[in-house]
Structure 1
Amino acid sequence: MTEVLPTVLLVEDDDAIQGIVEEALREGGFEFTSAKTGEEAVTLLKGRLVAYCALVTDINLLGSLTGWEVARAARETDPNLPVVYISGAAAHDWPAQGVPNSIILQKPFALAQLTTAVSQLLNERSVADLGKA
């Protein structure tokens, strides 16, 4: 029987950074789907073809949507979806723009920080779900 790995939606428009983050997710035991624009990410989220376990998004993206807006759209489809923002310049806006119970990583960050952040949010979500049972 094949083990189904949790799937992260990654939204990053820089090919080099996308590749590095994909490798970190793979090494951390995650599958991933990558999108380059906020619009593409929102389409994937609303299509519900994959049950994403988390969203990892840059803030400044190609297209008209920002990572802030992608995260808000993600929370409309799953109010408890773990969100990790990655940004080089917009981290200072996180307290005002970020969704609750999210984490921001300032670029450059250690790749282990990314998988730790995703895992931490997934663990917090699991504990919260147990409390509701």
Structure 2
Amino acid sequence: MPLTVLVIEDDEAIQGVVEDALSEGGFEAAMARTGEEAVTLLKGRLLRYRALVTDIKLLGKFNGWEVARAARDVDPNFPVVYMSGVAAREWATQGVPNSIMLQKPFATAQLTTALSQLLNERLAAGSSKA
């Protein structure tokens, strides 16, 4: 059963690339086009999603920074991967802790590697608390 990753990206070409990369990496992509849609999905069914991959500049009133903070409000350790062509330099001040920023364009393998790293860190942190 593949792990479901919520992806927020409004560019259909990039959506396709990200969806293919996740599929090849053993993940299932659930797509959202706006920040509002993503926040609604996260708050309603956060347990269904194992991680968040978000662009920074999104359609609607929420940007990727805000969507990631909303996810972390529900689950403080939720894995977050940002992807951006222009906002990467803001990651240090705007990004949530223990997240990863991928500068567009990036190799698709970088995305699956970043997700695997965050999921493994979460698993390791969870097992050390047992």
Q: TM-score, normalized by length of structure 1?
A: 0.95
Whole-Å Cα distance in 1 between the matches of residues 16 and 74 of structure 2?
27
Q: Pick from 97, 102, 105 the counterpart of residue 102 of structure 2.
A: 105
TM-score (structure 2 length as normaliser): 0.98
Q: 1:128 aligns with which of 120, 125, 128?
A: 125
Question: What does residue range 1-133 of structure 1 map to in structure 2 within 5 Å?
Answer: 4-48=1-45, 51-133=48-130
Gapped runs of 5+ residues in structure 1? none
Partner of 2:19, secondary structure, is helix
Quote the offset at 1:49 in angstroms.
Answer: 6.8
Aligned AA (2:115): V
CA distance in 2 between partners of 1:50 and 1:32 (Å): 15
CA distance in 1, matches of 2:46, 2:72: 16
Aligned mates of 1:49, 1:104 — CA distance in 2: 21
CA–CA distance in structure 2, aligned partners of residues 44 and 27 of structure 1: 24
In 2, the alpha carbon distance for the partners of 1:26 and 1:7 equals 10
- Render the CA deviation track for 1:4-54: whole Å, top value 9, x for unaligned: 211000000000001100000000000121000000000000111752110
Question: Per-residue deviation at 1:63?
Answer: 0.5
Structure 2 unaligned segments of length 5 or more: list them: none
Q: Which runs of 4+ in 1 moved over 4 A?
A: none
Paired with 1:52 and 1:90, the residues of 2 have a C-alpha distance of: 25
Q: Identity of paired residues, percent?
A: 72
Inter-CA distance 49–66: structure 2 relative to 1 (3 Å threshold): closer
Count of residue pairs the alignment pairs up = 130
